[in-house]
Structure 1
């Protein structure tokens, strides 16, 4: 699927070494640190990871998919994590065995992701840029934390990068079966994070830029949509039979939107509660999810009218910084403490953003179009909602590719004699 043609033997050996290093080191870390990576209390579930474990056990034992509702069925989350985790627990046991097996599965994903990063870097920039990106990722500590934590980010990141890889190949070959795979990957990603569902829309821009005949575009778009709908049907049917209403993804979308209105986690200004007396500081962020959207709209309406610059910044650059400048690193791994990782994350992001600027002016927009679109889509889609490092983590691999491209460009510049200098020498000889 992702060939290595054109990769030198030395590059292959180095890449294989990086993949082995990440795989072995990830396994050692998750086996040594074990339940240190739990973010919540298993006895009184108070975080997503322990709630996923609870949901997986309920699914195995009672055949009920529930989250935050004890034993009552719910559509609060997509079923990807409970089903996947439940599969491991069915085979390896509902206590430690299944959880350990799931963590080791994430270790394998991390190792595989090194190859995916290399493949994208080689296709978009050069083999050396791909290797640089793989090396940076191999020493990026949040990746090892992601191997141990019981969350969906590791699986979703691998799916995201596979989507980008297949997009690159589909752009070159335009074969129907490749668009079938895009539909499968998009549906798989949606079962973990529904916002992935519109990813195939990036092809509309790619096809327009590449001047693909519209008949082919309609055909490929229909293939992707048809595969996606077919694979999401079990979820839609389950929701209709269980709740007797149409639920496309989940019924919890309002809460992330409302929480996203909190600037640095703070309540709205006191004047908001004077203008909207139906709310109070104690109840604003409580209550049913279906009412959260209206609450959020009221907060934004007040903020944009009274503090427009503050709220515009928060809804754009502020959320972008929350996504990418704060590492997904809630359980530090020796010897990299959280304060150290905070500094490293800022330095890495500064390099990545320099790479984005360099690529924009030196590499050309058309060549890197799939990478631009993937990064842009999975950034913009988060801006209306609460944004933090956990959600930005899957995109870090794409950003690292730009930083690696800059490093590759600098190395190429140093190795290639300046044309201007060469011209002066020729004229003087």
Structure 2
């Protein structure tokens, strides 16, 4: 399905060498740095990564999925990561062995991602763009940090790349089996990040541009929805049996919608608490999702009324900045420090944004649309919710593909200038 055709032998050799490089280097990094990548304290679970380890042990030993609730069942998180990590623990031990195996599994996913990046770059743009994108990914240190940290970002990024690849194939071949696979991949993504669930909505635009008959649209939509529902049903049954209520995804103690109203972590303007005396600064951001929605609506309403430009920025360009301009790099890897990576990230993002603009102007092709639609969806979906670098990391490779196209075009332009100059010199000499 993902065969690479129409590519020179030298380009394929470079790709496989790059894959080997990423596999070896990422494995060495996670083995040498090992527990350096912990964001919390394993003895006192105080961060998502060490909480995931605790959850996975409990799931393996007691068959109970609990997070932030001791040994009592909860629906605080989706079960994707604990299921995989507990599987590695069952095979390699519940202490270092299982955790190291999980890190090495993420290294394998990084290698697979290099291949998928090449496939996408070649299909959407050209071989040189694919080579540049893979090279950038191979030296992009947040990828190696992501291999070492016990979080779901590496797995989700791989599923995202597979979603995009299968989207392109489904549009090209127009066969039902690819839409069944898309439904399965969307469900797999939802087991890690529920916001992926509405990804099939991008097909409304893609089908329209590809002139797909409405009957086929309906058929494919039902196929994706049917597989998605079938694969999410075990989660819904578990929640119904455990909590005697239907929980679509999670029922957490902190609302992403409410937290998303905090501009740089600050409280609302002082006047907000005068206008809404029922809220207290100490408890405003506490409570469950059900109670939080109205709070968030009230904050947004007040903010857009009294500080419209500030809130407009926060829910547009501010989201973009929070997602993409801060690297997912909480544990620096020698020799690049966090301040160094901050600068590199900003430079890379400027190139990526130039690439988006250039591609939209110069690369007006249906081949570009799935990439633009995926990036648009996975960015816009965060506008109402809390957004930060960890959530933006899986999308960085989509941005890098645009940036790589810009670099390729720039190299082509300078190469043409150089060739023209050489031709002129030869003409003058002769």
> Gapped runs of 5+ residues in structure 2?
425-430
- Separation of aligned partners in 2, 1:221 and 1:336: 46
Counterpart position of 1:157: 157
Moved more, 244-253 or 316-325: 244-253
Alignment RMSD (CA, Å): 1.9
Q: Give 1:212 deviation, angstroms.
A: 0.9
**What are the superposed Cα offsets for residues 293-330 of structure 1, whole Å, 9 maximum, x if unpaired?**
11111111111111011001101110110000000000
Instruction: Say how many residue pairs are matched.
Output: 425
Establish whether residue 40 from structure 1 lines up as the match of residue 40 from structure 2.
yes
Alignment of 1:339-358 (within 5 A): 339-358=339-358
Cα distance, 1:145–1:420 mapped onto 2, change above 3 Å: closer
- Separation of aligned partners in 1, 2:137 and 2:127: 15
Counterpart position of 2:215: 215
Counterpart position of 1:111: 111
Moved more, 35-44 or 277-286: 277-286
Give the structure-2-normalised TM-score. Answer: 0.96
- Separation of aligned partners in 1, 2:224 and 2:253: 25
Say whether the 8 Å CA contact 1:53–1:85 is kept in structure 2.
yes
**What are the superposed Cα offsets for residues 175-202 of structure 1, whole Å, 9 maximum, x if unpaired?**
1111111111111000000111111111
Moved over 6 A (4+): 417-421
Cα distance, 1:288–1:225 mapped onto 2, change above 3 Å: closer
Q: Give 1:254 deviation, angstroms.
A: 5.7
- Separation of aligned partners in 1, 2:295 and 2:176: 45
**What are the superposed Cα offsets for residues 23-78 of structure 1, whole Å, 9 maximum, x if unpaired?**
10000000000011000111221111011001101101111011111111111111
Q: Give 1:283 deviation, angstroms.
A: 1.1
Alignment of 1:194-343 (within 5 A): 194-252=194-252, 255-343=255-343
- Separation of aligned partners in 2, 1:417 and 1:53: 56
Counterpart position of 1:17: 17
Counterpart position of 1:71: 71
Determine helix, strand or coil for the equivalent of 2:315. Answer: helix
Counterpart position of 1:406: 406
Moved more, 259-268 or 365-374: 365-374
Counterpart position of 2:380: 380
Say whether the 8 Å CA contact 2:81–2:192 is kept in structure 1.
yes
Give the structure-1-normalised TM-score. Answer: 0.96
Counterpart position of 2:60: 60
Say whether the 8 Å CA contact 2:253–2:288 is kept in structure 1.
no
- Separation of aligned partners in 2, 1:352 and 1:417: 23
Determine helix, strand or coil for the equivalent of 1:11. Answer: helix
- Separation of aligned partners in 2, 1:46 and 1:254: 16
